Amino acid sequence: MRFTDRVALVTGAGSGIGRATALRLAAEGAKLALVDRNEEGLAETVALLPAGTEAWQRAMDVSDEAVVAACVADVVAHFGRLDVLCNNAGITGGPTSYAIATEQDGEIWQQVMAVNLYGPMYFTKYAARQMQKQNGGAIVNTASVAGIRSGAGGNAYSASKAGLINFTMTSACDLGQWNIRVNAVCPGLIETGMTKPVFDYARANAKEHKLGSRCELRRYGRPEEVAAAIAFLASDDASYITGQALPVDGGNTASLNMPGMKV
Ligand code: NAP
């Protein structure tokens, strides 16, 4: 029960990793502010929370600064405080975003940056102002292995996650003096709404055994496994950890994983 009497705001809470994070934090006693643009998904998450969980929810777009500012103000008005921020909402940019460097689309870059990088920046800006008043808080950003290496997403997605890893470091340095810790998780392949097309394709084509097979643990991950790492970084168990990006990837980024080099 590491989050008893603590208020946690989770974005992208209507699906996948955000939902699993909301459930994990609630199971450990947190009061929750849940945000997603998908109103239905948000309602499903709320329905799954343990009985008695205090939850506030809002269907909104994380990339709109005025909307984010109002959201944080309303959460603080509702709960009186804000202890944990999980910047988790994200998008891939769609199938065309996987084009090679000579075929990049500036509009897709703007959409992906707006959600994956500007969204966390806006939430950090307003949430950290409240955390400064409390002289403490924890922010956990959901980045990706795509922000560390090429090959796990389109160019815009990868650049947005690399940017988020760096923003994790710069904001950790800015905010440490107020005892506000900022860290990131870098998931590998996890089965969620975002990766559903990949999983659907593999299952429809008898390629399920290939999903995650290039990870050292030889499997893909579950949202709950990322949520556990987010909860750790958000908790006092990580009280001396800030500015770090933790891969949660079955060992994927630990290896060059060169085809032909393994038995
Ligand atoms: P997901 O199941 O698609 O969940 C993401 C949620 O965020 C969705 O409900 C989505 O709504 C919402 N969202 C998207 N744009 C939004 C916006 N502008 N404002 C508010 N909500 C928005 O995907 P996930 O895999 O759990 O993704 C969570 C995070 O993990 C993302 O940042 C993703 O990049 C990261 N990640 C995922 C993986 C993986 O393998 N799954 C790996 C590395 C990193 P819609 O359904 O309407 O889009």
Q: Looking at the CA of residue 189, tell me the nearest atom of ligand 1.
A: 40
Q: Which pLDDT value is given to residue 88?
A: 98
Pairwise CA distance, residues 22 & 14, whole Å: 9
Fold of the domain spanning 7-192+222-246:
Rossmann fold (3.40.50)
Catalytic residue, chosen from 122, 126, 157, 220, is 157
From atom 39 of ligand 1, which residue's Cα is the shortest distance away?
A: 190
Q: 192 CA to middle of ligand 1, Å? A: 8
Q: pLDDT tens-digit profile of 221-260?
A: 999 999 999 999 999 999 999 999 999 999 999 988 776 7
**Contact indicator for 173, 218 with CB cutoff of 8 Å:** no
Q: pLDDT tens-digit profile of 82-96?
A: 999 999 999 999 999
Domain segments of the chain: what residues? 7-192+222-246
C-alpha angle 143-148-149 in degrees, rounded to nearest 5: 125
Q: 153 CA to middle of ligand 1, Å? A: 13
Calculate mean pLDDT across residues 103-122. Answer: 98
From atom 33 of ligand 1, which residue's Cα is the shortest distance away?
A: 90
Indicate the top mutation candidate among 24, 112, 192 to test ligand 1's pocket, ranked by most ligand atoms within 8 A of CB: 192
Q: Which pLDDT value is given to residue 214?
A: 86
* 126 among known catalytic residues: no
Q: Which pLDDT value is given to residue 263?
A: 57
Structure tokens at 38: 């998908």
Q: Which pLDDT value is given to residue 257?
A: 77
Pairwise CA distance, residues 171 & 25, whole Å: 23
Calculate mean pLDDT across residues 116-125. Answer: 99
Query: What burial class does residue 88 get, using C-beta atoms within 10 Å of its C-beta: 0-12 exposed, 13-18 middle, 19+ buried?
Result: buried
Q: 112 CA to middle of ligand 1, Å? A: 11
Q: Which pLDDT value is given to residue 258?
A: 74
Q: Is 212 left (phi over 0), alpha (psi -120 to 50) or beta?
A: left
Calculate mean pLDDT across residues 182-196. Answer: 98
Q: If DSSP codes are grouped into helix, strand and coil, which group holds residue 85?
A: strand
Say if residue 162's pLDDT is above 90. Answer: yes
